[in-house]
Amino acid sequence: MTKGKRYAGQLQQIERGRKFTLEEAVELIQSMASVKFDETVELAFHLGIDPRQSDQAIRGALVLPHGIGKEQRVVVVATGDEAAAASEAGADVVGYEEVIDRIKGGWLDFDTLIATPDAMKDLRSLGRVLGPRGLMPNPKTGTLTQTPAVAVGEAKAGRVEYRNDRGGCVHMPVGKRSFSREALIENAEAAIQQIMRAKPAAAKGTYLISLAMSSTMSPAVKIDTRTMTKA
């Protein structure tokens, strides 16, 4: 089956113009014709924020109840006791100068970079490399911390980071298509609650404009937000 035929067939399963409950959306995503790999399931939020205003920025991280179905490769830039604790917590690579030098040399084979505050003086010069890839340590996501071992544990447990784009949208993975129905629903509910809690005080009008779920190769399934918020 070609991608075009598969996609067209999936579209036929989605009733045009209808918005589904979260439970129905999960069932639809899991019932659609699949590809050979285990697709990532994602939520897409369109938020009533002004991305140009710093006080309306949405950024953070949360640990999903059932993880994201992917082994996270975690690197820590730290020294002394913090480095030892991070290594004990399961970090894949721990170090300081040698890690920074590897990144300067083009090494980016990791999913999460965690650092202690005193390391930022040496990491800031890598902002142009790490920033666009979402890898620059940041206190809002828990990756710039004095307790990197805690951050390592969260990353390994299935923490996901999120931030709004220029269009005021947030995209967040909530698991794999192979997850059980209940696990995907619980992960999605946790993600929705997190985004709702992150509503900036400066945001006016409707906050959650629209919400949709999709897998890597599927069309989006629109979710009815009326039962989730009165914002």
CATH code (residue 44)? 3.30.190.20
Task: Give the span between the Cα atoms of 51 and 42, in whole angstroms.
Answer: 21
- 170-199 pLDDT, tens digit each: 999 999 999 999 999 999 999 999 999 999
What mean pLDDT do residues 19-40 have? Answer: 89
Asked if 194 and 182 count as a contact pair (C-beta separation under 8 A), the reply is no
Please check whether residues 140 and 170 belong to one and the same domain. Answer: no
What mean pLDDT do residues 209-218 have? Answer: 93
- 102-149 pLDDT, tens digit each: 999 999 999 999 999 999 999 999 999 998 888 999 998 899 999 999
User: C-alpha distances in angstroms, 58 versus 65, 131, 186?
Assistant: 21, 16, 22
Does residue 119 lie in a domain region?
yes
Q: Is the pTM of this model over 0.75?
A: yes
Strand partners, 45: 170, 211
How many domains does one find in the chain? Answer: 2
The CATH number assigned to the domain holding 137 equals: 3.40.50.790
Does residue 5 lie in a domain region?
no
Please check whether residues 89 and 146 belong to one and the same domain. Answer: yes
Q: What is the largest CA-CA distance in the chain?
A: 58
What mean pLDDT do residues 29-43 have? Answer: 87
Per-residue confidence at 230, pLDDT binned at 50, 70, 90?
very low
Residue 32 exposed, middle or buried by CB count within 10 Å (0-12, 13-18, 19+):
buried
Does residue 176 lie in a domain region?
yes
Asked if 213 and 43 count as a contact pair (C-beta separation under 8 A), the reply is yes
Q: Which of 137, 134, 110 is nearest to 123 (CA)?
A: 137
Does residue 144 lie in a domain region?
yes
Residue 174 exposed, middle or buried by CB count within 10 Å (0-12, 13-18, 19+):
buried
Task: Give the span between the Cα atoms of 28 and 18, in whole angstroms.
Answer: 13
What mean pLDDT do residues 39-64 have? Answer: 94
Distance, CA of 4 to chain centre: 28
Please check whether residues 120 and 153 belong to one and the same domain. Answer: yes
Residue position matching structure tokens 């650092």: 115
Please check whether residues 149 and 91 belong to one and the same domain. Answer: yes
Does residue 132 lie in a domain region?
yes
Domain that holds residue 181: 17-66+160-223
Per-residue confidence at 231, pLDDT binned at 50, 70, 90?
very low
Domain end position, chosen among 136, 157, 178: 157
User: Which pLDDT value is given to residue 33?
Assistant: 64
Mean predicted lDDT score pLDDT of the chain: 90
Does residue 60 lie in a domain region?
yes
Task: Give the span between the Cα atoms of 139 and 152, in whole angstroms.
Answer: 14
Does residue 153 lie in a domain region?
yes
Per-residue confidence at 224, pLDDT binned at 50, 70, 90?
very high
Task: Give the span between the Cα atoms of 107 and 90, in whole angstroms.
Answer: 20
Does residue 202 lie in a domain region?
yes
